[in-house]
Amino acid sequence: MPPKDIRSLWQEFETNLSILGGRVVSWTDLSKIEGRRWCVDFRVGELPLECGLYETTDPWTADVGITFGQLAVAETGTILISHESADRRLASLAPPLHIAIVRDEDIVQALEEAIDRLKPCNSVLITGPSRTADIEGELVRGVHGPKEIWIVVNRT
């Protein structure tokens, strides 16, 4: 099977992530989030994020957590986050909305390719928002982890 091109990979990724309740958004969508507190993964502080958000260092009271993703996996709508130094793990975990920024070229089709690129540091594969069906099998999102997850594709 010929390797898929980047656009169809992102298409596949978006389809699979939407089924789980996640979204792929654009930079302009971010600028529409007004008046919310956000907590970042420190490297993201380098990006020119101009939106109605103001920064906090406390992930527990933040409304939004913003992090980088190492790569996206089209097959399952998964993102891989590697916690290299000076990361805030809680930024992708405590706030109810998690936004992950992934570079356009950092997408693979299969899980195997993602595992191949694992770095020797703590990492996590995130596939959609937090969920449970413990009570009578009824699906509830955002039990402990984020209720919503947005992916921003960073095309420079």
Partner 1 sequence: MRLASTRVADARKYTLGRVFDDVDKARHYAASIKQYVLDNLAPLLTQFEDNCRANGITVHWASTAEEARKIILQLCRENSDPGATIVKGKSMATEEIHLNPTLVEAGFDVVETDLGEFVVQIDGDTPSHIVAPIIHKSRIQVAQSFQREKLGPYSEVPETLAMQAREHLRTKFQQASIGISGVNFGIAESGRIVIVENEGNNRLSTTTPKVHIALMGIEKILPRESDLPLFLRLLAGSATGQKLTVYTHLIHGPRCPEEIDGPDQIHLVMLDNGRTRVLNGPYREILRCIRCGACLNSCPVYRHSSGHAYGHVYSGPVGAVLAPAMEGVEAMGELAKASTLCGSCEEVCPVAIPIPAMLLRLRNEATAAGSTNSGIPWQVVASLAKNDRLWRAALILLPLATKLPSPWSKVRSNPERVGRDFRRWFRGRP
Which residues 46-105 are close enough to bind partner 1 by CB under 8 A? Answer: 60, 75-76, 78, 83, 85-90, 93-94
Query: Strand (E) positions, 9-48?
Result: 23-25, 36-40
Those residues whose C-beta lies under 8 Å from the C-beta of residue 20, and which sit 6 or more positions away, are 77, 127, 128, 129, 131
Name the residue nearer to partner 1 (CB basis): 50 or 133.
133
Name the residue nearer to partner 1 (CB basis): 49 or 108.
108
Name the residue nearer to partner 1 (CB basis): 49 or 145.
145
Q: What is the DSSP letter of 82?
A: E
Q: Which residue has the tokens 């990006």?
A: 47
Which residues 13-42 are close enough to bind partner 1 by CB under 8 A? Answer: 16, 20
Q: Which of 74, 145, 148, 151 binds partner 1 (CB under 8 A)?
A: 145
Segment (H or E) for 81? strand 78-82
| Cβ atoms of residues 22 and 130 within 8 Å | no
Question: Which residues of this protein are in contact with partner 1, per CB under 8 A?
Answer: 16, 20, 60, 75-76, 78, 83, 85-90, 93-94, 110-112, 115-116, 118, 120-138, 140, 142-146
